[in-house]
Amino acid sequence: MSKHAEPARLTVPAIRARKGGEKLVCLTAYTAPMAGLLDPHADLLLVGDSVGMVVHGLPNTVGVTLDMMILHGQAVMRGVRHAVVVVDMPFGTYEAGPAAAYPAAVRLMQETGCHAVKLEACAGIGETTAFLVQRGIPVMGHVGLRPQAAMVEGGFRAKGRTEAERMRVLDEARAMDAAGAFAIVVEGVTGDLAGEVTRAVGAPTIGIGASPDCDGQILVTDDMLGLFERVPRFVRRYADLRGIIGPAVAAYAEDVRAGRFPAPAEQYGVKPG
C-alpha cells in the first residue's frame, strides 16, 4: 500500500470486534464537508438527531423528521471514505414496535446508503432491535439519558443516581445487546454505571458524558470545536472556532464597508485579444 492510499473502509463487524480493544473514536456529522474532515480520524460518524438543535435551532430533538435525517445522512455519506456511518431513527419512527420501525429503517438505509441505524431505548426495544437485525439492518443502541424522552423525563438529566435508574439502564443495555445491537451509546450516566454497563454487554459501549471505561467515546463535533457559547460539563473543547469566526466576519464586514474588498487581485481582468 502506498503512503497516499486511502484507509480501508471500516465495517459494522469491525466495530463490534473492537470490544475491549483499541478505543473507538466517534463524532457527529451532519454535512459533507465536515464529514470529509472528520473521516480520516474517526472510526464511526453518527448523523445524530442532535442536528435539529445544532443545525436547525430546534429546542430539542423531538421535532426532527425522517426526511431531515435522510437529507443529512445523504450529505455525510458523500464525504466519507473510511468511517462507519450510523443514522439516528428520529422520534416517532420506531417506538410503536417492529411494524413501524422496519419501513422507516429500510428507507433510511436505502436513501442514504448508511451502514446502520441507531435507536434509543424504550418499551419493547429488544424485540424491535432483534426484528431489524434479523432482517439485515445493523442497529446501534442508546441507553441512559435519552434525548428523545426529555419531555417525559423533565429535561436532560443524568441517569444512574438511584437504584431504579441503574437497573433500568442495565436492563435496556442487556436487552439491546441480546437482540444483536453491534454497539451501544451510553449517555449521561454516572461513571461507575457506565463501567458496569460496559462489563455487562458483549457489544462495545460508546460513552458520552459517561466514563473512560467505555469502549469508545463520542461528542457532538460542534461542541468539541467550540462553536457554541455554552456546552455540557462533559465536553472538552479542542478548539475555539466561535472565537475565530466572529472576528473574521467582523474584519470582512469592515473591509466591505470601507471599500477595501474586493481588491484588484480579487477581481477578474479582461483577457487580451
- 185, three cell numbers: 451509546
Better-scored residue on pLDDT, 151 or 162: 162
Residue 148 has pLDDT above 60, yes or no: yes
Residue 120 among known ligand-binding residues? yes
Mean pLDDT of 22-43: 98
Q: Which of 6, 187, 229, 254 is catalytic?
A: 187
What pLDDT, on the 0 to 100 scale, is given for residue 136? 98
Bridge partners for 118 per DSSP: 88, 140
In order of 35, 72, 138, the CA distances from 78 in angstroms are 8, 10, 20
What pLDDT, on the 0 to 100 scale, is given for residue 145? 85
What pLDDT, on the 0 to 100 scale, is given for residue 3? 55
- Confidence bin at 149 (pLDDT 50/70/90): low
Q: Give pLDDT tens digits for 166-216.
A: 999 999 999 999 999 999 999 999 989 999 999 999 999 999 999 999 999
187 is a catalytic site residue: yes
Backbone CA torsion sign across 72, 55, 62, 148 = positive
Residue 118 among known ligand-binding residues? yes
Residue 49 among known ligand-binding residues? yes
Residue 2 has pLDDT above 60, yes or no: no
* Complete domains list, the chain, with CATH: 12-224 (3.20.20.60)
What pLDDT, on the 0 to 100 scale, is given for residue 6? 64
Q: Give pLDDT tens digits for 128-137.
A: 999 999 999 9
Mean pLDDT of 231-243: 93
Residue 24 has pLDDT above 70, yes or no: yes
- Confidence bin at 22 (pLDDT 50/70/90): very high
Residue 1 has pLDDT above 50, yes or no: no
Residue 153 has pLDDT above 80, yes or no: no
- Confidence bin at 69 (pLDDT 50/70/90): very high
Residue 141 has pLDDT above 70, yes or no: yes
Residue 39 among known ligand-binding residues? no
Residue 101 has pLDDT above 80, yes or no: yes
- Confidence bin at 146 (pLDDT 50/70/90): confident
Q: Mean pLDDT for the chain?
A: 93
